[in-house]
Structure 1
Amino acid sequence: MGLVRNTNLSALLVLLSCFHLEFGSATDTITAAKFISDPEAIISNDGGFKLGFFSPPNSTFRYVGIWYANISVPSFIWVANRNNPLKSSSGILTISEDGNLVVLDGQKKVLWSSNLTNSVVNSSAQLLGSGNLVLQGNTTGTFLWESFQHPSNTFIEKMKISTDVRTGKKVQLTSWKSPSDPSVGNFSAGIDVRNLPEFFIWNGSSTYSRSGPWNGRIFIGVPDMYTTYLDGFSLVDDKEGTFYLTFTLLNEPFPKHYVLNEQGNLLQSSSIIGEDWEVTWSSFQTECDVYGKCGAFGSCNSQNTPICSCLPGFEAKKTQEWNRGNWRSGCVRRTPLQCESVNNGSEGGKKDGFLKLTMMKVPDLADWSSALEEKCRNQCLENCSCVAYAFDAGIGCMPWTRSLIDLQKFSSGGVDLNVRLAYSELDKEENVKVIIIVTIIIGVIFTGISTYLLWRWMAKQKAKKKKTKEMLLLNIREAYPKFPREDKHGDRLNQVKLQDLPLFNLQELASATNNFHLSNKLGHGGFGPVYKGKMLDGQEIAVKRLSKTSRQGLDEFMNEVVVISKLQHRNLVRLLGCCVDGEEQMLVYEYMPNKSLDAFLFDSIKSKVLDWRRRFNIIEGIGRGLLYLHRDSRLRIIHRDLKASNILLDEELNPKISDFGMARIFGGNVDQANTTRVVGTYGYMSPEYAMQGRFSEKSDVFSFGVLLLEIVIGRRNNSFYDDDHAMHLLGFAWQMWNANNIVALTDLMIREPCFEMEILRCIHVGLLCVQEVAKDRPTVSTVISMLKSETLDLPLPKQPAFTERQIAPDAQQNPSKCSVNNVTVTMVQGR
């Protein structure tokens, strides 16, 4: 773009070079005297956005851009010199002598400029809290230039995508060429107003996709817009020739934006508590979203095979191409319209009519009329050039006088499209309707006969199932009154629709497990044995069978049914149903092929599979499952028995929390509860619960902390008792922490320098979770944030519980009340 040859400017930049770091990091404003150079940045006043130098992934080139300041994975919402990158880290962003905002390289060559001809001397650039970079005069404060008027590939809140029909000026998104190259790509997106305003995506100069017209609330060609966009969008006509689209996040606690990617797909992304960006919506749901996929008078339906079909009364223009799956040539009428001959009074012609197609994306190139619906129909019928019409209350009358292009059939949403057909074609459609009605009637009669024949056989099965449900409800009523003595808010029986819980009969479970054969036995816990089974449809299941000698009886069985029957989360094991038949009581779960975490973690051979990435994924998954139990599920659950043997692993080693026999339901405004019946596993129980019977969310946090340390250290929490130092896991971890010898804590399998900081953070978080006083421990949501954020400063942990005294002296005197690491104990103890 040329060189800045003015020696005064060069001298000024050299003179201020020793001061620009302070200026660049302490303000949200850039002036000629307060510039920034690579790698410095400025941050908006509210701390939400950052402006500085960056390199895209897999690139050494440097660019000036804007990104979110508080998101761990950067998402660059605007790029200045996107077509002219810096080749080295010598760039400067400053205000030139003529008042323009410029990017200079090491030789003071202008690589990018705001390029204003009416710039103001001594102007300044400010990064606003909205993410908008503005250039303003020194006295007036008016915006001379703003980045929102020159967007890159990202559409954020309060930005305006616009078009001026008088001047032709447009503010549009333009895609990057690739994820590592932000230069202008092939795709662009913006508002186009021919007759009705719509949102378009273009591939070069050709239309690639469109939204359908705006009706004042939504684009009617986007069927899921109500739910996806939460009515946050507005399309405004300023009555002076400019239309602009903007959006506001309504009741959204997390950042959200839209990115036009390199394939021409508009993606909605959100970031949860500063984590990675997650795509939550895409403009391309199916092939039918490609503009004109089925050609003129062709309709696209992604639910059909093939996806394209001609409209009723039309046939393929080029049959051979159509049959090969090339639908671009479209369709033509089978029977010419009779409009002109009827209007001229010619004989033999009957008046054309309309065939209604429901839930349609309306075609492109609609005209517009203010007529009401009935008048809209009549106007189209009287105009021989009108081939279809539609009516929407927010838009008005939409007639079409050209070929119908870009039609799509939706499964929900859309509008009614009325297509003009010759009278004889309408007759055929009526005949088809009669055939369909007759077919339906015959089908209903056949179904009725089949139902009657099956009824007698099903009645017996239904009666047996009803009896089983009555038995289950009776057992729950007998067991459930015991719960409120422990938790006044525990009565959630009415919230659990037991009628929706599948019931299995004893015969089908016996058949699935080969009569509970020992070869199918997966393990044995406090509840009883667990068997692998395979149903007749091929589904694999795990059957937990209540042992007649089990200390965990009807209370725990019914508790697990009540607690977990309505919980659905990827990190919770799924309860498929239950069986109650006489003295037999069984719970049926989804089958976990890799059994439990302890089977891998504490096995010298299998533990080699658990590299650090897998272990960290397991830690995160357990945390997400626990957060769901504490905060996100409709029932607030305290697990009370979180340990390695109660974490199951699926085929991809993803964790799922199991065994809810000891869990308790909390009321929405209850923080803790007391119990006279202490249950759980020594070594995982928090001190306030083990000693005083008080439990809360922080009790589960303590157990999570012990489990986290076990995963990092690779040893059971009770495996230290035989060591020379005669202490348990928490004591050993605390000793190594104080000795600044964290490496000694880490399992040999995961000792890699590249993961050292992440492992150290996990140990730090684990020690915070096992602090003696419950209020000192973080909540699960805070724990997850601590684990994910590399920039968050963590408080120093206090001494863990149980590090200066024996855990349970009574337990050594009475071994029958003890629990080894993988078996739950129920201890009745008065207070």
Structure 2
Amino acid sequence: MEMAVDILSQAQALRDGDTLVSSGGNFELGFFSPGSNSRKYVGIWFSNISARTVVWVANREIPLLGSSGVLQITNKSVLILASGKGDVLWSTNSSRSVRKPIAQLLDSGNLVVRDENEENPGNFLWQSFDYPCDSELPGMKLGKDLGKLGDWKTRVWIAVSITLSAVTLIFLCGGVALIKRKRRRQRVKTEEGKFSISKCRKGQWERPLYAFNVIARATNDFSHRNKLGEGGYGPVYKGVLYDGQEIAVKRLSKESRQGLEEFKNEILSITKLQHKNLVKHLGSCVDADERMLIYEYMPNKSLDSFIFDQSSSELLDWPKRLHIIKGIADGLVYLHENSRLKIVHRDLKASNVLLDSEMNPKISDFGLAKTFDGVAEEGRTKRVIGTYGYMPPEYAYDGLFSVKSDVYSFGVLVLEIVSGQKNRGFKHQDHHHNLLGHTWILFKEGVLLDVVDPLIKNASYALEMKRAIHIGLLCVQQHLDDRPSMLQVTVMLSSDCELPEPKEPGFYVPREFVSIRNTAFSNNEMTISNLYPR
């Protein structure tokens, strides 16, 4: 649809098919493709000539692929060209901002960014005449400081002469500075130093950087209605991009020091991971002090909202729960065995397993993940971070982590999925053990199925349920060497092979030590970061 106006306001967006037309009808601005090329550019051409003659191009170095681009003005008075995914391909470079910014195509062919009430060219924020292409238009300038120095070609030579003189002076003074401007290059400052996004893009960062205003529009300016929840990292919002794609946005809280580390770690961990049971990382947003991670949106939210909520848990019958268990196992096998680097998630829990529209599980939140390169099999940390109820003993006490840490967390998760109960916070009238201890007691008494969620009890699935519980107990054994690998777990879940007898689970304490145990830990969902191992 042709806009047939010469002004683009902050409330408007110019898309493929829309144009700005100068007031006298001499020039037109819009999207175009040269010849039969599928690449799109934003340019200015003569509107009264049948054969399109382009006189100026904005994104001549970075073409737009497809027809989902948008030209708009940000709240910082910057005119940007963004792809449908929010990747900024081109922008004006004004450092000033005004209250009511507009972009206007003048009848001279000059595209200007100015305040709505400002008519003085000397106060314009930006103009295309300062950045001429191959075509020369009457009145073109190289900037307001050189605007009165004669014809265009003369001003070019004056500018070149001034530039050469300045460079010569710098050389004579003994200082040589060469600054190479890379497209969309930014740096994120942290308290520990500088985190270079441009460096990550070359090495590990292969997802687009979204413009802040694109994410703000997608989330209705981060409205409370769009808020999905909040964790240690910060709030999470639902958003919808220009092309209709639904996204989830994790916005780093300015008070979260731990979150900044998680932001860097998650980008470096998940960027190259591709698996059907891992949540897909779509990109990031870095703007001034804003740090955001963009993911595919999961309409059914997290697993804990189903298994721990009686009103929702009945929606997950046993076949669905077993499907979720197997999916989580497959995702962990990929992390441990099949990805480029061996990755330990370190914070696997029900709230970090998301469910898509078909109840397929996807492991999320890689902020605490650790990678192993080469032959390394385990690591140790002085700063233990994780969630009570899911951490194995060797990690909670000694800071030791390995793929067997995830195996333990998976075992806890299996027992929670089967029982519909949380490990920590579990209560029973006959003892003070957690869910692991309670399941262990039932195993020794030969009544293992008593732990099954009453809402899903079905005699036809009894063998599958019993086998899943048995596998869960194998995964949560006290000593890490006794636990199976996730690859072995997937074989156990998909076959009828004989299962070994499980040994005592981690954090199981006999009755005579129950009073001591009760003072050691607290809530199930509390994430800790200040435990210092022996």
Residue identity matched to 2:193? E
Query: What is aligned with 1:470?
Result: 186
Alignment of 1:500 onto 2:104: no
1:513 aligns with one of 205, 219, 236: 219
Distance 1:653 1:466, change over 3 A: farther
Query: What is aligned with 1:461?
Result: 91
Provide the secondary structure at the position in 2 that maps to 1:637.
strand
Alignment of 1:601 onto 2:205: no
Deviations 1:320-371 (A, max 9, x none): xxxxxxxxxxxxxxxxxxxxxxxxxxxxxxxxxxxxxxxxxxxxxxxxxxxx
Q: 2-side partners of 1:830 and 1:447: how far apart? A: 57
- How far did 1:719 drift? 3.1
Q: Percent identity?
A: 48
Q: 2-side partners of 1:699 and 1:533: how far apart? A: 34
Structure 2 counterparts to residues 250-649 of structure 1, below 5 A: 442-443=35-36, 452-455=56-59, 460-461=90-91, 469-472=185-188, 478=193, 497-498=203-204, 500-649=206-355
Q: Which has the higher contact order (CA 8 A, sep 6+)?
A: 2
Query: What is aligned with 1:403?
Result: none
Q: 1-side partners of 2:466 and 2:35: how far apart? A: 71
Deviations 1:722-780 (A, max 9, x none): 64411101100000000101121111122111111111110110000000010000000
- How far did 1:537 drift? 0.9
Query: What is aligned with 2:508?
Result: 803
Query: What is aligned with 2:117?
Result: none
1:720 aligns with one of 407, 426, 429: 426
Query: What is aligned with 1:821?
Result: 524
Residue-pair matches, total: 375
Query: What is aligned with 1:661?
Result: 367
- How far did 1:528 drift? 0.9
1:708 aligns with one of 414, 424, 436: 414
Residue identity matched to 1:470? Q
Deviations 1:208-248 (A, max 9, x none): xxxxxxxxxxxxxxxxxxxxxxxxxxxxxxxxxxxxxxxxx
Q: 2-side partners of 1:668 and 1:714: how far apart? A: 39
Q: 2-side partners of 1:531 and 1:808: how far apart? A: 42
Distance 1:646 1:563, change over 3 A: same
Provide the secondary structure at the position in 1 that maps to 2:186.
helix
- How far did 1:580 drift? 1.3
Q: 2-side partners of 1:546 and 1:656: how far apart? A: 22
- How far did 1:821 drift? 2.9
- How far did 1:442 drift? 4.8
Q: 2-side partners of 1:740 and 1:764: how far apart? A: 12
Deviations 1:457-496 (A, max 9, x none): 6575287996864214x65983779xxxxxxxxxxx8797
Q: 2-side partners of 1:511 and 1:752: how far apart? A: 48
Q: 1-side partners of 2:414 and 2:247: how far apart? A: 28
Q: 2-side partners of 1:515 and 1:740: how far apart? A: 56
Q: 2-side partners of 1:555 and 1:773: how far apart? A: 30
Q: 1-side partners of 2:517 and 2:201: how far apart? A: 40
Provide the secondary structure at the position in 1 that maps to 2:284.
strand
Structure 2 counterparts to residues 160-179 of structure 1, below 5 A: none
Residue identity matched to 2:493? L
- How far did 1:497 drift? 3.1
- Tell which structure's C-alpha radius of gyration is larger: 1
Residues 279, 363 of structure 2: 8 Å contact kept: yes
Alignment of 1:730 onto 2:436: yes
- How far did 1:444 drift? 6.2
Residue identity matched to 1:829? Y
Q: 2-side partners of 1:479 and 1:537: how far apart? A: 34
Q: 2-side partners of 1:460 and 1:557: how far apart? A: 26
Q: 2-side partners of 1:733 and 1:600: how far apart? A: 21
Q: 2-side partners of 1:702 and 1:726: how far apart? A: 21
* Structure 2 unaligned blocks of 5 or more: 1-32, 42-52, 61-79, 82-88, 95-180
Query: What is aligned with 1:672?
Result: 378
TM-score (norm 2): 0.65
Residues 303, 354 of structure 2: 8 Å contact kept: yes
- How far did 1:819 drift? 6.7
Q: 2-side partners of 1:744 and 1:727: how far apart? A: 15
Query: What is aligned with 1:270?
Result: none
Alignment of 1:765 onto 2:481: no
Residue identity matched to 1:601? I
- How far did 1:452 drift? 4.6
